[in-house]
Amino acid sequence: MARNRYDMDEILEDSFDVNQLKRLAGYIAPYKKKMAGVILLMLSSSALTMAIPIFFQNVMDHSIPEKDMKSITFYSIATLLIALYSGISLRIKIKTMSVIGQNIVHDIRYDIFCHLQELPFSYYDDRPHGKIQVRVVNYVNSLSDLLSNGIVNTFTDLCNLIFILMFMFALDVRLTLICLCGLPVLAFVIILIKKKQRRAWQIQSNKQSNLNAYIAESINGIRVTQSFVRENENTGIFNNLSKNYRKSWMRAVMFNFTMGPSVDIISTFTTALIYVLGVRWILAPDMTLTVGVLIAFTAYIGRFWAPINTLAGFYNSLLTAISYLERIFETIDEPVGVRDEPDAIPMPEVAGEVKFSHVSFGYEPGQKILEDINFTAEPGETYAIVGPTGAGKSTIVNLISRFYNVDSGKITIDGIDISKVTLHSLRTQMGIMMQDSFIFAGTIMDNIRYGNRSATDEEVIRAAKTVCAHDFIMEMENGYKTQVNERGSRLSAGQRQLISFARALLADPKILILDEATSSIDTETELLLQKGLNELLKGRTSFIIAHRLSTIKNADCILYVDKGDILERGNHDALMEQKGEYYKLYMSQYDFLK
């Protein structure tokens, strides 16, 4: 999917791919034994209930005329027992199938989530996150009914139909043929609306996705919305999207609603015809039909159309589910752009030499963000990357952690090409602090420990102390046990950065990447931090991106990047002497501070 927005529909598949159902069958397979048990149970109960109309026929044609109370009592008790057996079977079916249905839903959702964990940043860059959520939550949920009831009901109803037809044929062939006349009419209705119905559900799934995307975006952007007093405009956009969703849903569901009434109309017509002809045959001089047979037969007609109605319902849910399945499997099939090569080896413990050799990269095909980048950071060196906004600084460090693969050239660590090692072994040797210091819902302790799950409380506290986060944490009501919300909304931007800083340091990495790590920290804290930082940078290869140049003056090497190219390189003094771009940038900040 090229870049998508909340108001852009996703591309709709034209023809239905049967493989999707095969894949769904793969999820159902582990439960097939239990399902078969339920189907058998339901079939036995149906077979028994099927005998009830025959009981009626016998009572009407024999027991009542012959005043045989014994057989009437027998048929009554048998009918009661059969009803009891059906009730218990139904209860077992509902319970078992609900559990199985929810298990399958869980399995599918688990697979999508696992896959999402591996998908490259570019996948998330390209679409609204709400459109991803809707697949994991709503679309998968929508399969639940189909999986818990649909499949078993379809099997049992198909078998029921066969049973019923056998009984009906045994009772009266002519009446059965009249009843069957309705089926071609129903098939014609299905063929007539099938294509439109499928498309309507696909459109509905798109509109639902758009609406979800906008809700997610609005929640994330609520501060900006309220700051710029955009509430009314946003409500208007939401209103439109919601109306579009309602409209698409109404249209899709209208097709579904066509099925039930069609079945009803067709069944009423055939039943009426059966009554008319049946009564005629009863009244005929040769009396080719008895009253008992007609009564028993009409009881079967109801049972004949009931499964057809459920099958039509199943067909509806199948068409609905298919439009969701397309999206679900599309997500699961999304290629993991950055993944371990089949022969990837674990990266041995590194000393920390990072080398870029003729590296070029662009986020989109044909676009160049970095062009022929070359540099070598020796183990333990601190590299600062500076330059104007959008120059490509974050892109360089993202490539070191292999969040994206390079288009050409190579990046090596200690001489080993990073594309040839496992991502896990590579990233566990890096401490990365990105621009958006993401805070997860949980305690502050958990958030710092995210960098190293085996760290003790003491180690967490030591890391926090080093980055000067300890004091503010201790001032909070529960210290390290204080609960913070997702995104850390109750923390200041600087506090969030300090926590992420501690998280990166706790990983005790050989390679440290700090992307704008100190941009929201006040100058006083930064000075304090600098001391701890200097200690920590010792023995680690570090890449620091900073707009505030005072923080990187001591770097071993400063790369001045602009438009994806390294324009200047050297330490602070050398670059100042050069009186080039770095000099201008530094002086402009210096003048500004004067």
Burial class (CB in 10 A: 0-12, 13-18, 19+), 365: exposed
Is 15 near ligand ATP (CB under 6 A)?
no
Q: With CB under 6 A as the rule, give the number of residues binding ligand ATP.
A: 11
Binding mask 179-218 for ligand ATP (x = CB under 6 A): ----------------------------------------
Is 363 near ligand ATP (CB under 6 A)?
yes
- Give the count of beta carbons closer than 10 Å to the beta carbon of residue 269: 14
C-alpha–C-alpha distance, residues 35 and 21, integer Å: 17
Is 522 near ligand ATP (CB under 6 A)?
no
Is 392 near ligand ATP (CB under 6 A)?
yes
- C-alpha dist (Å) from residue 561 to 371, 389, 580: 11, 10, 12
Is 269 near ligand ATP (CB under 6 A)?
no
CB-wise, 227 or 389, nearer to ligand ATP? 389
- C-alpha dist (Å) from residue 242 to 197, 230, 249: 21, 18, 10
C-alpha–C-alpha distance, residues 384 and 373, integer Å: 15
Shortest distance in whole angstroms from residue 519 CB to ligand ATP: 9
Is 589 near ligand ATP (CB under 6 A)?
no
CB-wise, 163 or 543, nearer to ligand ATP? 543
CB-wise, 395 or 429, nearer to ligand ATP? 395
Contact with ligand ATP (CB under 6 A): which of 93, 131, 303, 393? Answer: 393
**For residue 380, how many C-alpha atoms fall within 13 Å in the half-sphere facing its CB?**
3
Is 520 near ligand ATP (CB under 6 A)?
no
Is 389 near ligand ATP (CB under 6 A)?
yes
CB-wise, 3 or 481, nearer to ligand ATP? 3
C-alpha–C-alpha distance, residues 61 and 475, integer Å: 90
Query: Helix axis angle, 69-118 relative to 32-50, nearest 10°?
Result: 160
CB-wise, 128 or 292, nearer to ligand ATP? 128
CB-wise, 395 or 518, nearer to ligand ATP? 395
Query: Helix axis angle, 291-333 relative to 182-220, nearest 10°?
Result: 40
Is 260 near ligand ATP (CB under 6 A)?
no
Stretch that binds ligand ATP, among 182-190, 305-313, 391-399, 436-444 (CB under 6 A): 391-399
Is 142 near ligand ATP (CB under 6 A)?
no
Is 496 near ligand ATP (CB under 6 A)?
no
Is 391 near ligand ATP (CB under 6 A)?
yes
Is 572 near ligand ATP (CB under 6 A)?
no
* Rg (the chain; Cα; Å): 35
C-alpha–C-alpha distance, residues 444 and 152, integer Å: 48
The answer to whether 45 and 89 have CB atoms below 8 angstroms apart is yes
Long-range contacts of residues 322-326, Cβ cutoff 8 Å, at least 24 apart: 322/16, 322/20, 322/21, 322/198, 322/201, 323/198, 323/201, 323/202, 323/204, 323/205, 324/139, 324/140, 324/142, 324/143, 324/205, 325/20, 325/21, 325/23, 325/24, 325/143, 326/13, 326/17, 326/20, 326/202
Is 390 near ligand ATP (CB under 6 A)?
yes
Is 395 near ligand ATP (CB under 6 A)?
yes
Question: Is residue 365 classed as helix, strand or coil in its secondary structure?
Answer: coil
Is 436 near ligand ATP (CB under 6 A)?
no
Shortest distance in whole angstroms from residue 377 CB to ligand ATP: 18
Shortest distance in whole angstroms from residue 549 CB to ligand ATP: 13
CB-wise, 211 or 377, nearer to ligand ATP? 377
**For residue 492, how many C-alpha atoms fall within 13 Å in the half-sphere facing its CB?**
12
Stretch that binds ligand ATP, among 5-13, 42-50, 318-326, 382-390 (CB under 6 A): 382-390
CB-wise, 346 or 390, nearer to ligand ATP? 390
Stretch that binds ligand ATP, among 103-111, 294-302, 390-398, 443-451 (CB under 6 A): 390-398
Q: Look at the block and give the residue holding tokens 């009918």.
A: 79
Contact with ligand ATP (CB under 6 A): which of 328, 369, 455, 513? Answer: 369
Is 347 near ligand ATP (CB under 6 A)?
no
Is 303 near ligand ATP (CB under 6 A)?
no
409: left (phi over 0), alpha (psi -120 to 50) or beta: left
CB-wise, 377 or 468, nearer to ligand ATP? 377
Kind and range of the H or E run holding 383: strand 382-386
Show the tokens assigned to 104.
């399958």
Q: What contacts 19, CB < 8 A, 6 or more positions away?
A: none
CB-wise, 175 or 370, nearer to ligand ATP? 370
C-alpha–C-alpha distance, residues 180 and 305, integer Å: 10
Is 585 near ligand ATP (CB under 6 A)?
no
Contact with ligand ATP (CB under 6 A): which of 4, 220, 240, 394? Answer: 394
Query: Helix axis angle, 32-50 relative to 151-171, nearest 10°?
Result: 30
Binding mask 99-138 for ligand ATP (x = CB under 6 A): --------------------------x-------------
- Which has the closest alpha carbon to 543: 338, 405, 386? 386
- HEC profile of 294-324: HHHHHHHHHHHHHHHHHHHHHHHHHHHHHHH
Q: Footprint of ligand ATP on this chain (CB under 6 A)?
A: 125, 363, 369, 387, 389-395
